[in-house]
Chain A
Amino acid sequence: EVRLVESGGGLVQPGGCLRLSCAASGFTFSDHYIDWVRQAPGKGLEWVARSRDKRNGYSTEYAASVKGRFTISRDESKDSVYLQMNSLKTEDTAVYYCARRSSGSGSYYPFDYWGQGTLVTVSS
């Protein structure tokens, strides 16, 4: 069974930092892209960052709103993806989900599994 479990959310002051974790199980971790998607309270979904698979060197992409402040990374030994969030702003307040991109022989794939999310609140 595919599982994605986020952790690390909490309350942080503006300008502070936080590291989120996404622990994966039930599939070959290195074969899949893993993304972070966030949802501000009462709002829609916003894509945040991507970590590609091992074949693509775990290369990364970021939304403009977080580029230079957030860093996505992986630990193969722990089947985990991380989101290091620095210089946090009040507008970063959201539930953060990690999501697995489905894979195959083509180039375009959607998300097929999502974690349950972890809440990050940026407030003084």
Chain B
Amino acid sequence: DIQMTQSPSSLSASVGDRVTITCRASQGISSWLAWYQQKPEKAPKSLIYAASNLQSGVPSRFSGSGSGTDFTLTISSLQPEDIATYYCQQYDSFPLTFGGGTRVEIK
């Protein structure tokens, strides 16, 4: 199975800060990586697919990069509504696997 490791597990930042979350795959997954946002008590929401493509309607302050084993989700200017847990997921091979999540809080 492909293990997905996210870091940090949590972070606290101020409104307007640039926030970066990393995700590392235990083996190469090309660009078959997605990012999801989950607000408290809500279902996950799709943010980014194929490592760097924004889903329709996602604000442009979100961006993704990477390929192979190392990936990054960046929020260019953190907003109060971005408070959530973010998960990466590989869809290169079965079983589909998710990272452990990164909880983002406002300082």
Chain A residues in the interface with B (C-beta under 8 A): 35, 37, 44-47, 50, 61, 63-64, 97, 99, 102, 108-117
Is A110 a contact of B95 with CB atoms below 8 Å? no
For chain B, the bracket of interface size reads 20 to 34
**B34 at the A interface (CB under 8 A):** yes
Is B91 a contact of A45 with CB atoms below 8 Å? no
Question: A46 vs B101: C-alpha distance in the bound complex, in angstroms?
Answer: 12
The dominant DSSP class at the A interface is: strand
In the complex, the number of residue pairs spanning A and B with C-beta atoms less than 8 Å apart equals: 57
Residues of B within 8 Å of A110, CB to CB, are 34, 46, 49-50, 89, 91
Residues of B within 8 Å of A61, CB to CB, are 94-95
> C-beta contact mask, B51-80 vs A, less than 8 Å → 1, else 0?
000010000000000000000000000000
Question: A116 vs B89: C-alpha distance in the bound complex, in angstroms?
Answer: 19
Do A47 and B98 contact each other (CB < 8 Å), given the known contacts A108-B32, A108-B92, A112-B55? yes
Residues of A within 8 Å of B42, CB to CB, are 116
**B96 at the A interface (CB under 8 A):** yes
For the complex of A and B, the 5 pairs showing the least CB-CB separation, nearest first, are A110-B34, A47-B96, A110-B49, A45-B98, A114-B43
Residues of A within 8 Å of B98, CB to CB, are 44-47
Residues of B within 8 Å of A117, CB to CB, are 43
Is B43 a contact of A45 with CB atoms below 8 Å? no
Extra inter-chain contacts (14) besides given A35-B96, A44-B99, A110-B46, CB under 8 Å = A44-B98, A45-B36, A45-B38, A47-B95, A47-B97, A63-B95, A97-B44, A102-B49, A108-B92, A110-B49, A110-B50, A111-B44, A112-B55, A116-B42
Question: A99 vs B34: C-alpha distance in the bound complex, in angstroms?
Answer: 14
**Distance in Å: Cβ of B64 to nearest Cβ of chain A:** 12
Is B100 a contact of A111 with CB atoms below 8 Å? no
